[in-house]
Amino acid sequence: MMWGLDSDKDLTMGEAPIIIGQDLQHGNDNDFESKSGTFETGTIIGDKKYVIGETAAEFFYVKVQILDNNCPGEWVNVVELGTKPISCNGHSAVVLKDRILILRKDSNPDDCIWFLEVDTMFVREQQEKNLGTEVVAWSKGVIGNAEKPVVISGPSGVGKGTLISKLMKDFPSMFGFSVSHTTRAPRAMEKDGVHYHFTEKNVMEKEIKDGKFLEFASVHENLYGTSVEGVELVSDAGKRCILDIDVQGARSVRASTLEAMFIFICPPSMDDLEKRLRDRGTETEEQVLKRLRNAQAEIEQGTSSGIFDHILYNDNLEECYENLKKLLGLDGYDVPPKSAPKAIDLPRDHSVSKIDDKIIINSTSSSILEKESKNLIMLDVSSLKGGAPGRTRGLNFEAIDSFSEGFNGSGN
């Protein structure tokens, strides 16, 4: 079967046209066999056609189907990683180099721009692991670049949680904590969703398989993991994300596409560490001994493996905290100068065009009010970073209205 949106052209990456969801429904894409879609776009990249649909069968979430030119007439098996957008009233699809930009109609400003990663490094790695299936990854578009997340590791009882709590208390609008998942039982004062997402082993194992986690590890015989969503929630709120994870987790994050700052916290001595763990009184004797045994190896790896950018000794708590603040560029700050990133308010009815790295979104609304507020939006996709689910950042924009002389918004 020959397929294509424009049969005269052999489209390659970056050359596919922009398609508005409703158009396909009305038969503009003649060669495409629709699978009962309500709103669908078909985007060609290389040998593949990515059909992004908001179907009646799976009415809640957007669904991706793929046709491969090399296997004519057959739908390819697709694994979709990451949190998907929910269905809306149609979308436009624009091919970028290694991803498809999705502009969603009638969506909230913080939910109108998504990316379907189809050929990023992360996706290619996942494809190698899932031979025989196509892997794609969903990621919400995030304006600007959030500051690098901070990974804090160190043996159990060294004081990571204590230091992080102080930081969060002193700079609540600047930092957000990545709430991990764990299969260990909650301690007396711990709250589900605040300290951890406490979960069952079989549930977490399934979620790991589904690609929900940025990293995970078995620590002191329990599973712990950082979900992509947990980090995303913090970054989307315009805050710097703090991860409290063990050395194995830090190693995984280091190997991932997430750019972070890695800090290892060391105890002054094993005796001090043991005293802190025992005084904390949260573990049984058997667990304390297990944690102390693991601490030895963690300290060796933390101080010698090259994973960490900085090592801090937590002897005197206040001194260690001051040193942590220095590393984070916070010495001398009382009130942090931080504002949340701006969101893009897409006009309800619009046309979309692409010139190099700029996407021009033009209001076609007949409503004077809407025209006044959002006439033309220019997205700049030249600095996109990421490629793993949930983490495509660096989108910039300018909103230009027809009634004022200049710009009325910027993502920078």
Ligand X SMILES: Nc1nc2c(ncn2[C@@H]2O[C@H](COP(=O)(O)O)[C@@H](O)[C@H]2O)c(=O)[nH]1
Ligand Y SMILES: Nc1ncnc2c1ncn2[C@@H]1O[C@H](COP(=O)(O)OP(=O)(O)OP(=O)(O)O)[C@@H](O)[C@H]1O
Residues annotated as catalytic (active site), given as ranges = 187, 280, 291
Q: Is 217 an interacting residue with respect to ligand X (CB under 6 A)?
A: yes
Q: Is 301 an interacting residue with respect to ligand X (CB under 6 A)?
A: no
Positive/negative CA dihedral, 324, 328, 332, 337? negative
Interface pick for ligand Y out of 276, 290, 310, 342 (rule CB under 6 A):
276
Q: How many CA atoms lie within 13 A of 153 on its CB side?
A: 30
Concatenated DSSP letters of 173-203: TTEEE---EE-SPPPTT--BTTTBEE--HHH
Reference 394, options 150, 113, 119, 151; nearest CA is 113
Q: Which residues contact 286 (CB under 8 A, 6 or more apart)?
A: none
Q: Under rule CB under 6 A, which residues in 109-168 are in contact with ligand Y?
A: 154, 156-162
Binding partner of residue 280 among ligand X, ligand Y, none, CB cut-off 5 to 8 Å per kind: ligand Y
Q: Are 95 and 43 in contact (CB under 8 A)?
A: yes
Backbone phi, then psi, for 287, in 5-degree steps?
-70, -40
Q: Is 225 an interacting residue with respect to ligand X (CB under 6 A)?
A: yes
Which tokens belong to 261? 């700052």
Interface pick for ligand Y out of 301, 314, 375, 392 (rule CB under 6 A):
314
Shortest gap between Cβ of 152 and ligand Y (angstroms)?
9
Binding partner of residue 197 among ligand X, ligand Y, none, CB cut-off 5 to 8 Å per kind: none
Nearer to ligand X, 50 or 213 (CB): 213
Q: Is 249 an interacting residue with respect to ligand Y (CB under 6 A)?
A: no
Shortest gap between Cβ of 163 and ligand Y (angstroms)?
7
Binding partner of residue 276 among ligand X, ligand Y, none, CB cut-off 5 to 8 Å per kind: ligand Y
- Angle among Cα 243, 204, 180 to the nearest 5 degrees reads 15
How far out from the chain centre does Cα 302 lie? 26
Binding partner of residue 314 among ligand Y, ligand X, none, CB cut-off 5 to 8 Å per kind: ligand Y
Nearer to ligand X, 145 or 226 (CB): 226
Residues that bind ligand X (CB under 6 A): 156, 160, 180, 184, 215, 217, 219, 224-226, 244-246, 248-249
